[in-house]
Every structure is written in structure tokens, then in C-alpha cells.
Amino acid sequence: MNGTLNKVILIGHLGDDVKMHYFEGGNCIGRFPLATNEVYINKTTGEKITSTEWHNLVVRNKAAEICEKYLTKGDKIYVEGRIKSRQWQTEEGTTKYTTEIQVTEFTFLNTKKEFEQKQGGFNPQGGEPPRSASFDVPPTTTGEEDLPF
């Protein structure tokens, strides 16, 4: 080991459905925002305060397809991954920056589709959604760093 570690663990709710992008050769990326909340009491006023932090999550290939199939806005998920910052140039020449979580493992904590299935309103082909998955995410992928999303 080289003495460093880049690992993130989050439990939160999807802020939107998984958005897919497909590449030549069959690879794909799924992106979605994840909200995590911190709740505390303001010591001066006694007021309960909820602070929401938003994280941009990226899942690749089979993991992306599984997330797209089973997750929708509002679902709760546990994810592990690593932080990746990147930059790109817009068509206007402006430099843009983003920080993302590249997901390497996830566990569905609840899904709306799963709830509907238990209520008798949803029957996915292939049965129950996978509870968790682990995927090897390469540290760099040629060409995808230039994408402005």
C-alpha cells in the first residue's frame, strides 16, 4: 500500500432518478445526486436544524444498469466509493470543475419499486432486486473525463 486511502461511505436518498449515458463499445455511466442529512439542535434557540449535503454519484456499466432498473428518486441507498475531481472546458472556453463519488459498492436499503412489489403493484422480470453489489471501478477511463456532466 502506498500510504494513502481514498474511500467514501454514504447513506442517503436519491435526489433524482439515475441518468444514463451510453458509449461506443457498450460501456455506460449512470449518474444521480445523493442527499445526506445532518440533524442538530441550535443551542441558542433550541430549534432543530437539518443540513443537507448533496453528492454527485457515478456508477459504471453493470452497476449503472442495476441502479437504473431498481432505483428512483427518494430511494435510500448505502454506497462505498472514492472521490474524484475533474475539470473540463465548456464550448465558451470556461473551465468547469466537479467532484464526484465513483461508486464501487452499494446496498439498496429500500426502493420504491420494491415497496410497490410488496403491495402487489410491481413484478420486475428476474424477481427480487439485488440487495447489494460490488464492482471493480478502474481509476481512470479514457475519454470520459472530457464529458461536461
The number of distinct structural domains making up the chain is 1
pLDDT at 87 over 70: yes
Q: Is 31 contained in some domain?
A: yes
pLDDT of res. 83:
97
Q: Which residues face 44 on adjacent strands?
A: none
Q: Is 35 contained in some domain?
A: yes
* Under 8 Å between Cβ of 10 and 106: no
Q: pLDDT: is 17 or 120 the higher one?
A: 17
C-alpha cell at 36: 445526506
Q: Which residues face 72 on adjacent strands?
A: none
Q: Is 148 contained in some domain?
A: no
Which residue intervals of the chain are DSSP H helices? Answer: 61-70, 112-118
Q: Which domain holds residue 117?
A: 8-140
What are the pLDDT digits (tens) for 32-79? 999 999 999 999 999 999 999 999 999 999 999 999 999 999 999 999
Q: Is 109 contained in some domain?
A: yes
The CATH number for 78's domain is: 2.40.50.140
Q: Choose among 47, 51, 60: nearest CA to 12.
A: 51
**Amino acid residing at 60:** R
pLDDT at 92 over 70: yes
Strands 48-60 and 95-110: parallel
pLDDT of res. 110:
85
Burial (0-12, 13-18, 19+ Cβ within 10 Å), 125: exposed
* Under 8 Å between Cβ of 74 and 112: yes
What are the pLDDT digits (tens) for 101-147? 999 999 999 866 665 665 544 434 444 555 555 555 544 443 444 44
pLDDT at 1 over 70: no
